[in-house]
Structure 1
């Protein structure tokens, strides 16, 4: 699921997967292989090869995935003035007691595939060119990664982030949804992007805006606070943030 989301977040369609599985004995390895096979069938992405070792001292799994894109969504195209939009599938439940919001295990395979197809179709529509899939960093942390890669900053209204009813805000900000994406969208296209996902039953909302100053501020009602200053401290260090020189006339 994670690897498929990575491809879709870049505007691509997944083609095939290879994996390397290390396990301590046959039984735990067999369980993982069965899970991989089930996911391959549900998402329609074949596992075409790999390697295994059931004599390892511990369990390890590495997966590589191949995809193809006609039009890219990247982490480097967010611009000052853009609207930050988040799309999250709330039709799920936590894998308690973990922070994993599972909207995939019980969903029909046809719906899973159709929901993932929204991403490359969105890229090809021209409505958006900057995106990132929400990962273990959570919704806000993933947005921060996107902003850092684009050498910009932003303001996020935490109450605007799509959230399941009854889930406390702090827990949700620390959660990893199985289907969740952050987009940086030109303001004129933000409503169209939201409708794009809402038409498929996926919650989608504008949650903030992109700024030129490389800082991320969080807003909650009338309260605002600085979460991260990228100029002072990189987050993932994917791209150095350097002060922009003033224009000389």
Structure 2
């Protein structure tokens, strides 16, 4: 069973498509920093020094099939993924801009209605952008800026840390084009923002230094990318991963989540972190641990198999020759 699941995960397009990040890293490596950059290409957001704190920048392009088939959902998702990227870094969103491209005016309207709904839900303004009404292909890109007092970085996982999966299971299966779990549509804006603020609290109270949001790479892909970025390995305990009854474990491991985060936490702080989430009715469980080396293994009952060996291969290429994407 485990070997079959591993093969399925390794061939999952949500993970395989991350390999192209290496191209950007290689071509843009010499222009990432002219003095103020702390974190460059590779994390959930880029980080610049700013007035004793940090300025965060991120951008996400929405899957073309989702834009084409479910434009309203695509608009909502474009806001959600950017907001989650900022919170995953320990920051708070400030504002967004967008680029919408389509010849279909009705589709443009649905995309913008979805964006408006997302902005209302997450309480983050959409302050500008650009519209291509004559584009040959439909597309949607949103960029966001945020601020942070203290950072959660993908490159900060350390051997001995526990891997915590925090997820809102009080939701429903989401859009049809992409396998997803929607736990925001059924909640008030206040509840949604309060749950996201947990990440800021954890960061500012120095309970954690490493985190990443669960996006297109799924739960296992997200853990693997965090470990790769940190230059470490780890064990993932399949039986301990919480999931909703509506999805099988194979479906769940590849699902895109509106609220799902992986945190790498020192053993001394795990109970405090778990309690932070549970106080807001977020399911949080220890599902693995960080180890020396660069091998990621999955454990299920008595079975143990290699998921990724970063001595031989990479997902994003974000850790090379002992250097992660951290600059300052």
Give the TM-score, by structure 2 length: 0.72
After TM superposition, the structure 1 = structure 2 runs for residues 89-168 of structure 1, keeping only pairs within 5 Å, are 89-95=168-174, 97=176, 98-168=178-248
Can you give the 5+ residue segments of structure 1 that lack an aligned partner in the other structure? 243-249
> 1:16 aligned to 92, 95, 119, which one?
95
Choose the corresponding residue for 1:228, options 308, 313, 318: 308
**Contact 1:71–1:123 (CA under 8 A) maintained in structure 2:** yes
Superposed displacement of residue 165, structure 1: 2.5
C-alpha displacement at 1:96, in angstroms?
Answer: 5.5
Deviations 1:208-247 (A, max 9, x none): 11001101100111111111101100111112265xxxxx
Give the conservation status (yes or no) of the 8 Å contact 1:151–1:241. no
Which range moved further: 90-99 or 185-194?
Answer: 90-99
Once residues 96 and 110 of structure 1 are traced to their aligned partners in structure 2, the CA distance between those partners, rounded to angstroms, is 23
Question: Does residue 1:207 correspond to 2:284, yes or no?
Answer: no
Question: Cα gap change, 1:29/1:201 in structure 2, threshold over 3 Å: closer, same or farther?
Answer: same
1:32 deviation in Å? Answer: 0.4
Would you identify which runs of 4 or more consecutive aligned residues in structure 1 move more than 6 Å?
none
Cα separation, 1, equivalents of 2:209 and 2:264: 8
Q: How many residues align?
A: 242
Deviation by residue 1:90-124 (Cα, 9 ceiling, x = unmatched): 11111264411111122211111111111111100
- Counterparts of 2:104 and 2:255, CA distance in 1: 32
Residue 88, structure 1, aligned to residue 167, structure 2 = yes
Give the secondary structure class of the aligned counterpart of 1:20.
strand
Higher helix share: 2
Preserved CA contact (<8 Å) 1:25 1:56: no
Q: Is the 8 A contact 2:173 2:246 kept in 1?
A: no
Compute the RMSD of aligned alpha carbons.
1.1
Q: Closer, same or farther in 2 for the Cα pair 1:58/1:166, shift >3 Å?
A: closer
More deviation, 162-171/50-59:
162-171
Q: Offset at 1:166?
A: 4.6
Q: Which 5+ residue runs of structure 2 have no aligned equivalent?
A: 1-79, 323-328
Larger CA deviation: 96-105 vs 17-26: 96-105
- Is the partner of 2:236 in helix, strand or coil? strand
Structure 1 CA distance for aligned equivalents of residues 206 and 200 of structure 2: 10
* 2:56 corresponds to: none
Q: Determine the C-alpha separation between the residues in 2 that align with 1:241 and 1:145.
A: 16
Q: Which has the higher strand share?
A: 1
Q: Distance in 1 between matches of 2:247 and 2:105?
A: 39
Aligned equivalent of 1:77, options 139, 156, 175: 156
C-alpha distance in 1, partners of 2:110/2:130? 16
User: With structure 1 as the length reference, what TM-score do the two structures score?
Assistant: 0.94
- In 2, the alpha carbon distance for the partners of 1:219 and 1:192 equals 26
Residues 27-81 of structure 1 show CA distances to partners (whole Å, capped at 9, x for unaligned) of 1000000111111111110011111122222211111100000010001110011
